[in-house]
Amino acid sequence: MIECIKLTKRYGDLVAVNEIDLKLEDGDVFGFIGPNGSGKTTTMRMIATLLNPDYGEAYVCGQSIYTKPDEIRRMVGYMPDFFGVYDDMTVIEYLEFFASCYRIDGPDRRRICEEKLELVDMSFKRDAMVSQLSRGQTQRIGLARTLLHDPQVLLLDEPASGLDPRARIEIRNLLKRLGELNKTVVVSSHILPELADVCTRVGMIEKGNLIVDGYVDEVMRKARQRVLLYVGVAGDIDEAAKVLESHGDVEHVEVTTGRQLLSRVPDDQNPHARIEVTLAPEIEDYSFLPALLLERGHRLTLFREEEINLETAFMQLTKGVQQ
């Protein structure tokens, strides 16, 4: 549905996007992750035919951005991070105005506008003035506007930018619903928790280079260089640590106590001390550890694997460089 081949954009000596290769299929919800200035918006604008690349090619629904830009614009819904609205219109008037720009005429225009309002849960504001909407409501109206012509491909640039926590959750739920409609969605963000529960695939871009591209579980596995376990025991924790350290599949053991835990993963069951066990490379099966401790007479009070999330994966896989 979207294919980029060596897509490149330069501004003088600055390489904003550097030979990006990317292929997305129907139904993919692609999280485009990177810090501000990393090249996310530039890439999305080139795919949307709003910006010409200096080198490379991109196809949307099989059409080239060079030879079929008009066809692509009919198939793409692009929502920028900030967009203008007309304050002297009601919500339904605003949507009908843009529907007419998409050449949606006759009785279908009102019906489609009402449907999109319902999709973004804004029907209750249909007769409100656009100037009276909150930031989150304005974002949802902007998304409804983007969906008016029923595009197969959605390019959403920082859709939750500047929103309060409740509004971000609402936008996240909307993105899930869009994925269920089998549309190809590219959504960019530098706030990683926004994308964790929404995307089927993620790409991490840094200084114009797409350094990671894959399904979420693949990216998590790539980020996990070692398995880290949190272990608690009733009794002599130092002795238990020595037992674990003696096993050949264990690379490192550390007993963490007291104040150290406040800045690490919380442990409700044993707040005073626990053992952090790092397994050797390539070792993912740790079923031997509980058996080993029980065999030596230790009673487990905690046994938990460290969770890897998008934020952890991003920190592991990127270098933190800026443009």
pLDDT at 30: 92
What structural domains and CATH numbers belong to the chain?
Answer: 2-222 (3.40.50.300), 225-307 (3.30.70.100)
Low-confidence ranges of the chain (pLDDT < 50): 259-270, 321
pLDDT at 257: 75
| 275-292 per-position pLDDT tens digit | 999 988 878 889 999 999
pLDDT at 92: 94
pLDDT at 209: 92
pLDDT at 261: 46
Q: Are strands 153-157 and 63-64 parallel, antiparallel or unpaired?
A: unpaired
CB 77 within 8 A of CB 151: yes
User: Residue 20: helix, strand or coil by DSSP?
Assistant: strand
Q: Are strands 184-189 and 29-33 parallel, antiparallel or unpaired?
A: parallel
Q: Provide the whole-model pTM.
A: 0.74
Helices (H), 80-223: 91-101, 107-119, 135-147, 165-180, 193-196, 216-223
* Separation of alpha carbons 224 and 216, rounded Å: 12
pLDDT at 262: 41
pLDDT at 318: 66
pLDDT at 22: 95
Q: What are the tokens at 140? A: 């949802």
